[in-house]
Amino acid sequence: MSDVAKRSLLVATIVFAAGCGGSDAQFDIGELDDAVSDAVDLDAVSGDGATTDTTVDDGMVVADTDTDSALDDGALTDSAVADTGAADTGATDTGATDSGATDTGAIDSGATDTGTTSDAGCTAGTSRACYGGASTDVIGGTSACKRGLEYCIGGAWGPCTGEVRPSPESCNNVDDDCDGVVDDGLGNVGCGVGACTRVVAACSSGSATTCVPGAPTGEVCGNSQDDDCDGVVDNGCGCVHVAPTGVDGTTCGSAATPCRSIQYASNKAGTSTWPKQVCVGGNVGCNTAASTATYNEAVTMKDGVSVLGSYNPATTGFSRHANCVTRIAAQDHNGVVFPATVTSATTLDGFVIDGRNDPTNAAVTITGSTGAILDGCVVNGAGGTSSVGVLVTAASGTKATPRIQNSAITGGSGSASAIGIRVVGSSPVISRNCDTYDSQGRCQNWGCYGTQRFVRGRINGNTGATGSVTYAIRLESSPSTTIDTSAVCSSSGQGDVAGVRLSGDATGTIIRASNIVAPGGATGNVNAVGVWADACAGASPWILGNYGISAQSRTAAGRADGVRAVGDCHPRVDSNRQIVGGEESAANDAIGVYCARDATTGVASRCTILGNQSILGSQAGFPPSSTGVRCDRGACARIERNAMISGAQGINTFGLVLDGAATFVDRNVITGGCTRGEGIGLLSIGSAARVQNNAILGGTDCSSGAPTSAFGVKVLIGGGLGELDLHSNSIVAGGTTSAACTSRGLGLDLLPSSTPGGGRGVFRNNVILAGVCSTAYGVLELNASADPRIFENNDLFGFTSAVVLYRNENTTNLPGIGAVNALTDMTVAANVSSNPLFFSSSNFHIQAGSPCRNAGTASGAPTYDYDADGRPLESAHDIGFDEYRP
């Protein structure tokens, strides 16, 4: 992408975040008024709603002040434990970054800090390179792995901040797993059926591949091929015919003398001279007057025998007609069965299939079959206690591997659970259950209403009993499952709802090019999640290139997450068009992507969040708390190259929350979004993260309200040695000129009961703008003990003389940048205070005459910038997220 194109994209994304929609005013960095004392703190933020999930770590919480038992659900008023120094890295400490053209694999150590105090083998103030990964890991070049820096703090070495270890490979022209090969091991994706089947590499030149099926031809009888690509071998080459007017017997089977039952005809097909295909007719005259013919029978599919419905039963010859609806009404709890003996291509096509109201029921059951194809059907789970549309299970250790495609599947109305497709120990391909696709082949349809092909958890209008669960797709220990190009909707429920929920072994599982929604009910709903990944045996399911993933929970006790990953499951959230925590979540909290630690096992999800176009907290309404991305207690290995991470809109909004996380955060646009309360671009809670090359914007006003408080970055310091490393970012506090508010470019405070024993945090080469509120600060120390440890080469600026560049100890407004550089309770040097000369109020690239040009330090500097250009491009490093390109 050209530099002009990149800058145009940045303009578009920041304008979107600042405006919260086309009707809102754009943020303008030149609008500032008077400054007075700060009176707003994080403790004013309301806590989150309850949850029944009991396996997620509370994330720095000692006493959980909301009503859940384990999930750290975004409540920012909880008491917090003292930071032990190094953030929990979970079971698989992974991480990487897009290396850019000039990445050398290490943070530039620059000039080593000097100090005078020696203790425990290190001199206070010095730093050294560090790396805790394997000696065989490739570092530098196209590899994602990087060495970090550890600092001597009070005579002891702190955590290795900024190191990047191997993570699962993604499609990005980067060697994520650091084995020396870019984009390797990503496998293939397939599309089409029969002779139109095509298999292509999942990744090509750093981008997800669009698979295009081959072109169908006319069916050739007798070649055992599906030449016309409709899922049926040799169709049109003869049938055993079935019609409501038929009679079973040795002479039945022709169009003139059809059989009566599907099962009788299936058993007859393939014997003697009969073809291996059954054609099932509707009622007589259905071609002129639409009607439904119901077959009340138990059907077990026979290997290689395809059963096709929706025929006009003319005695002179059957032909398919849309008016001729053929319905199979299940006679037992299994519905239509594909047994393990079905190993060759065997298609069920063109039927409405209704389950029976047994306590536990499925409309279709596929058990150990490796040849089953369900195509072009309407499948309805029944009622009872637990209902399923399609149940896919293993048999005697053999995984079922069916194709489920071009269908409309609903889980039914089970009072305790309703699941569209439930997969246990198997590996299906769930594909093209969608009506329309965009230019990249992604499903565009919203699967809850107004579409003919979908996978849906519960029938519309039914919410089940209180506490009932509703899933469109449930994967249980089902590796190598593909969910592809489908409209997936949980529908409403009174308990947990999810578009896709997975647990157990998820090795090789891919969820791609789909539109996934989880709209919770108006009562009783607790968790509504678009894609929900529980512990999955350490696997890294790939959530790739989806059109949309979203959730919605409308009860005050609920929460809504677009993607949630918990414990020993480390998904790759990669190149998705949009992820939304709450579509309309005015009553509860919403998070776009939430990765957390399992409280029972102590393992954190080391998810990677890479190259997504838009990740939003709440897209509509004003939930109590709306967060773009949240990482708790060692969760999240890498957050990189995301065009937009935003709280979007809410009472209190957060772009990115790092709670006890040691995440590598690089080359993102992060915004608090529009808020009626407090809006924070980046909130660090006792984290030891490396944050570099980002554009970060605090909370701004909405068309229906304005913020009272805004932070570009807010840092809550813990009691140990862990500290945030904030380097080479462009930070704007945000705020509004339409109402009284307080804005801060950077705010520092302590976690409750924390005594760090000195400054914490490394802040270098950042542009820090005070914002546009009537009270505005460049840097605000909210506590007398909340000091940076290193504060060098930053540009602190406000556009009026009333702006306070730096409020020290929360008591003293320093008179100017000279006073900032004279502070004695931190390592401080070479900070400036000048207009950075951004290209515009929404484009944070600097102009040629910017005072930030060549004004940075090499100490700790990244080796590339936001646009992946090398640092420095001239004689010295620039201040801000991107180097000026001469």
3-state helix/strand/coil string of 59-114:
CCECCCCCCCCCCCCCCCCCCECCCCCCCCCCCCCCCCCCCCCCCCCECECCCCCC
Q: What is the mean pLDDT of the chain?
A: 86
Q: What's the mean pLDDT in 372-394?
A: 98
CA distance 627 to 878: 31
Identity of the amino acid at 61? V
DSSP secondary structure letter of residue 711: E
Terminal alpha carbon distance of the chain? 17
* Residue whose tokens read 């993607």: 563
Cβ-proximal residues to 289 (8 Å cutoff; 6+ apart), any chain: 323
CA 405 to each of CA 193, 618, 833: distance values in angstroms, whole numbers, following the listed order: 10, 32, 61
Instruction: Please state, in angstroms and rounded to a whole number, the distance separating the CA atoms of residues 842 and 325.
Output: 57
Query: Strand, coil or helix: what is 267?
Result: helix
Q: Given the DSSP bridges, would you call strands 203-204 and 207-208 parallel, antiparallel or unpaired? A: antiparallel
* Contact criterion met (CB below 8 Å) for 831 and 794: yes
DSSP result, 755-797: --SS---EEES-EEE--SSSEEEEEEESSTT---SEEES-EEE
Using a pLDDT cut of 70, give the percent of the chain over it.
85
Q: Where are the domains of the chain?
A: 240-329
CA atoms within 13 A on the CB side of 510: 22
Are the beta carbons of 360 and 381 closer than 8 angstroms? no
763-813 pLDDT, tens per residue? 999 999 999 999 999 999 999 999 999 999 999 999 877 899 999 999 999
Mean pLDDT to the nearest integer, 269-294:
95
Please, are residues 633 and 606 in contact by the beta-carbon 8 Å criterion? no
Predicted confidence band of residue 585 (pLDDT cuts 50, 70, 90)? low
Structure tokens, 401: 């591997």
CA dist 882 and 844 (Å) reads 8
Where are the extended beta strands (E) located within 333-433?
336-338, 346-349, 352-354, 360-367, 372-375, 378-380, 386-393, 403-405, 408-410, 417-424, 429-431
Summarize the confidence of residues 426-449 as an average pLDDT. 95
- 516 closest CA partner among 600, 466, 556, 456: 456
Q: Using CB atoms within 10 A of its CB, is residue 601 exposed (0-12), middle (13-18) or buried (19+)? A: middle
- Per-residue pLDDT, 522: 61
Between 16-25, 168-177, 532-541, 573-582, the lowest mean confidence (pLDDT) is in: 16-25
Q: Is the pLDDT of residue 79 over 90?
A: no
User: Which tokens belong to 628?
Assistant: 């773009």
Task: Calculate the alpha carbon distances from 508 to 173, 477, 570 in Å.
Answer: 20, 11, 12
- pLDDT, tens digit (0-9, with 9 covering 90-100), for 178-212: 999 999 988 888 888 888 988 889 889 888 888 88
Cβ neighbours of 73 (radius 10 Å): 31
Mean pLDDT on 531-536: 98
Q: In this structure, is the dihedral angle defined by the CA atoms of residues 233, 238, 244 and 247, taken in order, positive or negative? A: negative
Q: Which of 22-26, 146-150, 233-237, 835-839 has the highest mean pLDDT?
A: 835-839
Q: Residue 232 — pLDDT band, cuts 50, 70, 90?
A: confident
Percent of the chain with pLDDT over 90: 69
Interatomic CA distance for residues 364 and 354, integer angstroms:
9
The continuous run of DSSP H or E covering 819 comes out as helix 817-821
Rg (Cα) of the chain, in Å, rounded? Answer: 30
Task: Dump pLDDT digits (tens) for 701-724.
Answer: 888 789 999 999 999 999 889 999
Name 657's bridge partners.
630, 683
Q: Report pLDDT for 586.
A: 67
- Lowest-pLDDT range of 358-367, 446-455, 863-872: 446-455
